[in-house]
Every structure is written in C-alpha cells, then in structure tokens.
Chains A and B, each alone.
Chain A
Amino acid sequence: MPDAKQRRTNSALWLGLGLFLLAILANVLSFVHLTSAWFPFITLALPILALVFLLSATVRAFREPQLFRGKILGTSLAILAAMLCAASVAFFYGARHIPASAGAPQVGQRAPDFTLPDSTGQSTALAQLFSPARGITQPPKAVLLVFYRGYW
C-alpha cells in the first residue's frame, strides 16, 4: 500500500460529479420552466462536459492508482454520465421535433377567422376579441394569439 500522504485528490472526479448533477437539474428545469433559446444547448453541454471529466478521472485512477482513487466510482459515474448524455440528446431532438407550419398565416396576411368557446363555454369570435374588455374603454389595437401545447 502506498503512503496515504502521497495520494492526491482526484479533482476531475468531483468536478465531473458536480457537472453530472447540474446536467440532471438543467434537463429537469428545461421541461418544468420555459427557457431562453440558449438554455437547451446547456442541457447538452453539461452532460458532455461531465462525461469528459469523469472519463479523465477514471483513466487517471487506473493509470496512477498509487496517486488517485476512483476506479470504481469513476467508472460507475462515467457510465451514468454516458447514459445521461444519450438521454439529453434524445430530449433535445424530441423537443425540437416540431412540425414546420409552412401553411401558417404569414406576416401581412389575414389571420383566418374563427369562433371558439372560452373557458366559461361562451362562444367567442376573433372579431369579438377586439371589442373593449370589461372596465377598459379603449378597444385593443391588436390581439396576441398564443397557441400552446395544453395543460395536463
């Protein structure tokens, strides 16, 4: 057994573990909260970085076992990080697998008219949305139609 004093901290292992946990958090957050355009790329970058650090920590532990610990922990975490990378890539492409909507009304075109029930069941036409709302005398200059996936 080498002298314990000669051992050095396998910092890549702990850095990799931290990035691995952050990567899980980022993936969860991205689906719970709507995010900015750059955030999905963070959900890819974090698990890849975690995998790189954990692999280098594991290689180090096997090459210089007298200096660095982490053969078992490094290997296990690297496998988990690789699985997280695969899942993150799948989530990333899944979230971007959206129809092209080439036939949607373009800027400058007329918005197709419609009549739909509101949340109280009252039938509402697009034109009616331009009438003054309760308590407001000024009619709206524009309606912001927000199509969303739905509340489950």
Chain B
Amino acid sequence: MRGIQDDLPEFTAQGIRPVAISVDAPSVSEHLRQTQHYTFTFLSDAHLDVIRRYDLLHHAGGPDGSDIARPAEFLVDRSGTVRWENFTEDIRVRPRAQQLLAAARSIQ
C-alpha cells in the first residue's frame, strides 16, 4: 500500500487505477486512509462475497481466527479481462510498486 501510494503519480500517468479490497468495514479503511494519507480507493467486502467469487478466502486467516482475503493482485483492463495477476507464497511478501508498474506497461 505504501509503495503504491508513493508511486501513485506514476500509476496514474500510466493509466492504472489502484483499488484496495479487504474485509475491513468502510470506517476502518477510511481511518487507514486518513492516518496513512492514502488517496486511492478502498473497497469494503465485509461479507466476503467478492473475495469468495475470486476464490481468495483465507479461512480463519485473521489474527483472531476470522475469515479474511489472502493477498492477491489483479490487473483488469477496460474490457474486464484479467491481464496480469500475482499470488504471493508468503503473507510477508508482496510485489513492489515497480513490479506492478512493469506489468502495467505491457497493457495498451
């Protein structure tokens, strides 16, 4: 998230709109946005509907045993087609903003 925010001008210049999705309630995401000065969109999937549809449910993956989303990134073009995706093997590892931008460059 931090990396995306730091490179947000470059994402915008390349025509990429980052959108974060988690089980967090809108108020929790809004608090995160304000305290961390994130300016991109955060969506709330508190009922895990979309997370299930994308097969990203991590059952009891939360620290309190709650169901959450596993980390994953998708680049979706204007036709609604997935052009690039990434599924980490370790929750501590995420793609760097430069990797995401490199993937975005391949999309016309």
Contact partner of A99 among B4, B20, B70, CB < 8 A? B70
Structural contact, B70 and A149, CB atoms closer than 8 A: yes
A105: chain B residues at CB < 8 Å are 54, 74, 82, 85
B17 at the interface (CB under 8 A from A): yes
A5 at the interface (CB under 8 A from B): no
Number of interface residues of B (CB under 8 A): 71
Contact partner of B92 among A30, A108, A110, CB < 8 A? A30
Structural contact, B44 and A119, CB atoms closer than 8 A: yes
A111 at the interface (CB under 8 A from B): yes
A151: chain B residues at CB < 8 Å are 22, 24, 28-29, 31-32
Contact partner of A142 among B1, B15, B49, B59, CB < 8 A? B15
Contact partner of B71 among A39, A110, A147, CB < 8 A? A147
A108: chain B residues at CB < 8 Å are 81-82
B37: chain A residues at CB < 8 Å are none
The contact size tier of chain A is 35 or more
Given contacts A104-B85, A109-B81, A141-B78, contact A149 B61 (CB under 8 A): yes
**New contact pairs (10) apart from A98-B88, A142-B78, A148-B69, CB-CB < 8 Å:** A31-B92, A34-B92, A37-B90, A95-B91, A95-B92, A101-B55, A113-B80, A116-B21, A118-B26, A147-B69
Residues of chain B whose beta carbon lies under 8 Å from any beta carbon of chain A = 1, 4, 11-12, 14-24, 26-33, 41-45, 49-51, 53-59, 61-63, 68-78, 80-85, 87-94, 96, 100, 104, 107-108
Q: List 22 A-B contacts (CB under 8 A).
A: A40-B93, A98-B61, A111-B74, A111-B80, A111-B82, A112-B53, A114-B49, A117-B44, A118-B44, A120-B26, A126-B80, A133-B17, A138-B15, A140-B15, A141-B77, A144-B17, A145-B21, A147-B69, A148-B71, A149-B22, A149-B71, A150-B24
